[in-house]
């Protein structure tokens, strides 16, 4: 058995596996684009979804659209067989996606902090609501 033949066969198998994996990854990316676009459209069209937390979620979905665009760039290089790229073109190709990824990560943290405050102080908000209902109740009977 020729040692070079074994090496080229190994590279061919790795290329086939890479193409299958990136194809599955692209399918998941398209599903993500569809879902994130629907989140944005639902937030814009539905008045009930236009509170601060849902707006943050819509902005995060918008950022994820650009972040997921980097997967198409990766797929292009895998399908063309160019597995290696120098730093400068890689930086230019991935810069926008990377910036949006960092911003989306910060938004996930912000949404999490917002939700933890909402859950932690829900009793206070409930007490204020019940106090408002308590004062509203007699005024309804007066009318």
Please give the pLDDT value at position 128. Answer: 64
Residue corresponding to tokens 């009977």:
141
Average pLDDT over residues 25-46: 95
The b/e string for 6-45 (b: 16+ C-beta within 10 A; e otherwise) is: eeeeeeeeeeeebeeebeeebeebeebbeebeebbeebee
User: How far is 7 from 117, CA to CA, in rounded Å?
Assistant: 57
For residue 73, give the nearest of 56, 60, 59, 90 by alpha carbon: 90
pLDDT band at 99 (very low <50, low <70, confident <90, very high): very high
Whether pTM > 0.85 for this model: the answer is no
Give 78-128 as a DSSP string.
HHHT-----HHHHHHHHHHHHHHHHHHHHHHHHHHHHHHHHHHTHHHHHHH
Residue 8 has pLDDT above 70, yes or no: no
pLDDT band at 138 (very low <50, low <70, confident <90, very high): low
Residue 56 has pLDDT above 80, yes or no: yes
Please give the pLDDT value at position 41. Answer: 97
Please give the pLDDT value at position 51. Answer: 86
pLDDT band at 129 (very low <50, low <70, confident <90, very high): low
For residue 59, give the nearest of 21, 103, 27 by alpha carbon: 103
Please give the pLDDT value at position 1. Answer: 46
Average pLDDT over residues 27-42: 96
Residue 57 has pLDDT above 70, yes or no: yes
Q: Which CATH number fits domain 3-142: 1.20.190.20, 1.20.1070.10, 1.10.760.10, 3.40.50.980?
A: 1.20.1070.10
DSSP H helices in 49-86? 52-80
Residue 125 has pLDDT above 50, yes or no: yes
Find out whether 22 and 74 touch, Cβ atoms under 8 Å: yes
């Amino acid at each position: 058995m020729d040692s070079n033949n074994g090496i080229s066969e190994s590279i061919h198998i790795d290329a086939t596996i890479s193409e299958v994996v990136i194809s599955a990854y692209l399918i998941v990316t398209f599903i993500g684009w569809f879902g994130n676009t629907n989140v944005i459209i639902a937030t814009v069209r539905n008045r009930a979804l236009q509170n601060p937390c849902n707006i943050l979620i819509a902005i995060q979905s918008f950022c994820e659209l650009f972040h997921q665009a980097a997967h198409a760039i990766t797929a292009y290089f895998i399908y063309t067989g160019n597995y290696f790229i120098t730093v400068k073109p890689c930086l230019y190709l991935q810069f926008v996606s990377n910036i949006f990824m960092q911003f989306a990560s910060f938004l996930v943290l912000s949404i999490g902090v917002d939700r933890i405050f909402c859950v932690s102080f829900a009793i206070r908000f409930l007490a204020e609501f019940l106090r408002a209902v308590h004062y509203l109740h007699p005024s309804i009977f007066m009318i």
